[in-house]
């Protein structure tokens, strides 16, 4: 309904959704089926969504807090916007653990694959302790998407990086090691599929053949980190 009534009247900002089979010359979200109804977003508006995504996400959280505060609860309890905000943004201890990702990375290490910590350049091979580091800290991006997870030096991750973002110099130094991690993930059938799915969700314009994909992705990830840092004036290491 918010989409239908956006702007003055009905269907004035967005056209009424139609089945994908009835549309033509459009770029669909990966996995779209012919019978799925699609909401068409014009290219200029889509670009604006991308450029303004951090502010749009913050505004959506704010408006959802205000809306939820007004909804009558089944048990007649009263919730306030601060409580809802905490639920939406707090550290997600209830999210799925990294066991699945670690198990598959461990298999790669046992098969002789080698990673390099992007922050210390420490080589990580079978038998070496490592953390799966969230490049964008969980406090900023509380989702375990595979592009955001790389094997890293556990001491550096816990005691130095913590919840801070890497500086421009650190990112430049880290890029080849991020690219290596993504290339290693692509050698595992399960990790490759998960990486492709997670990238499609966050980076709709990142694509390429198997050889170029890791490099294109590492560049997109670095651009996203810089966008976070610039828009929120965050501490960097």
Q: Are strands 18-19 and 37-38 parallel, antiparallel or unpaired?
A: antiparallel
**13 belongs to a structural domain:** no
The count of structural domains within the chain is: 2
Which of 26, 54, 89 is the last residue before a domain boundary? 89
Give the three-state DSSP class for 172: helix
More confident residue, 146 or 205: 146
Verify that 128 and 198 share a domain, yes or no: yes
| Residue 94 within any structural domain of the chain | no
Q: State yes or no: pLDDT of 71 exceeds 50.
A: yes
Residue 180 has pLDDT above 50, yes or no: yes
**H-type alpha helices, the chain:** 43-51, 53-70, 81-89, 99-110, 154-156, 168-185, 189-202, 213-232
Note the pLDDT tens digit of each residue in 42-59. 888 888 887 787 778 788
Q: 138 in helix, strand or coil? A: coil
pLDDT of residue 73: 82
Q: Is the pLDDT of residue 31 over 50?
A: yes
- Which pLDDT value is given to residue 1? 80
Average pLDDT (29-48) is: 87
Q: Are residues 110 and 219 in the same domain?
A: yes
pLDDT of residue 81: 87
- Residue 204 and residue 112 in one domain: yes
23 and 107 within one domain:
no
Q: Is residue 11 part of a domain?
A: no
Tell me the mean pLDDT in the region 174-185: 97
Q: Considering 39, 71, 89, which residue would you say is the last residue of a domain?
A: 89
> In the prediction, which pLDDT does 217 show?
96
Question: Does position 206 have pLDDT exceeding 70, yes or no?
Answer: yes
Q: Does the pLDDT of residue 117 top 60, yes or no?
A: yes
Looking at the fold, whether 27 and 83 belong to one and the same domain comes out as: yes
**223 and 147, same structural domain?**
yes
Considering 23-27, 61-65, 125-129, the range whose residues carry the highest mean pLDDT is 125-129
The reported pLDDT for the residue numbered 149 is: 96
Please say which residue of 89, 109, 132 terminates a domain.
Answer: 89
Q: Flag whether 189 is in a domain.
A: yes
Alpha-carbon span 128 to 34, nearest angstrom: 48
Rounded to two decimals, the pTM is: 0.65
Average pLDDT along the chain: 88
Q: Residue 156: is its pLDDT beyond 90?
A: yes
- Which of these ranges, 2-6, 70-74, 179-183, 232-236, has the smallest mean pLDDT? 232-236
Q: Quick one: 172 and 139 in the same domain?
A: yes
pLDDT value, residue 94:
44
Task: Give Cα separations from 174 to 92, 112, 160 (angstroms).
Answer: 27, 22, 15
Task: Report the residue count for the chain.
Answer: 237
Nearest to 131 by CA among 110, 159, 96, 112: 159
% of the chain at pLDDT higher than 70: 96
CA dihedral of residues 79, 83, 84, 88 (deg, nearest 10): -160
6 inside domain? no
Tell whether the model's pLDDT for residue 110 goes beyond 90.
yes
Range(s) of the domain holding residue 105: 99-232
Q: Which two tokens stand for residue 199?
A: 């990238």
Instruction: Tell me which residue of 199, 200, 216 sits closest to 208, measured CA to CA.
Output: 216
Please give the full DSSP string across 54-115, using - where no structure is assigned: HHHHHHHHHHHHHHHHHSPPTT-----HHHHHHHHHS--TTSPPSHHHHHHHHHHHHTT--E
Spatial separation of the C-alpha atoms in residues 4 and 10, rounded to whole Å: 6
């Amino acid at each position: 309904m918010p989409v239908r009534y956006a702007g003055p009247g009905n269907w004035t900002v967005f056209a009424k959704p139609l089945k994908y089979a009835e549309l033509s010359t459009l770029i669909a979200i990966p996995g779209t089926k012919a019978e799925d109804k699609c909401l068409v977003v014009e290219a200029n508006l889509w670009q604006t969504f991308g450029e303004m995504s951090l502010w749009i996400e913050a505004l959506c959280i704010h408006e959802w807090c205000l809306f939820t505060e007004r909804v009558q609860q089944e048990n007649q309890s009263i919730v306030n916007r601060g409580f809802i905000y905490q639920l939406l943004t707090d550290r997600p201890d209830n999210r799925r653990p990294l066991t699945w990702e670690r198990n598959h990375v461990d298999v790669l290490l046992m098969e002789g694959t080698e990673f390099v910590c992007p922050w210390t350049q420490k080589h990580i091979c079978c038998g070496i302790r490592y953390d799966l580091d969230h490049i964008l800290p969980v406090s900023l991006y509380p989702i375990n998407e595979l592009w955001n997870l790389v094997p890293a030096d556990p001491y550096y991750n816990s005691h130095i990086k913590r919840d801070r973002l890497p500086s421009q110099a650190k990112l430049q130094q880290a890029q080849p090691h991020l690219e290596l991690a993504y290339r290693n993930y692509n050698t595992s059938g399960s990790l490759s599929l998960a990486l492709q799915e997670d990238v499609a969700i966050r980076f709709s314009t990142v694509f390429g053949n198997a050889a170029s994909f890791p490099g294109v992705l590492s560049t997109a990830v670095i651009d996203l980190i810089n966008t976070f840092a610039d828009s929120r004036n965050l501490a960097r290491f």
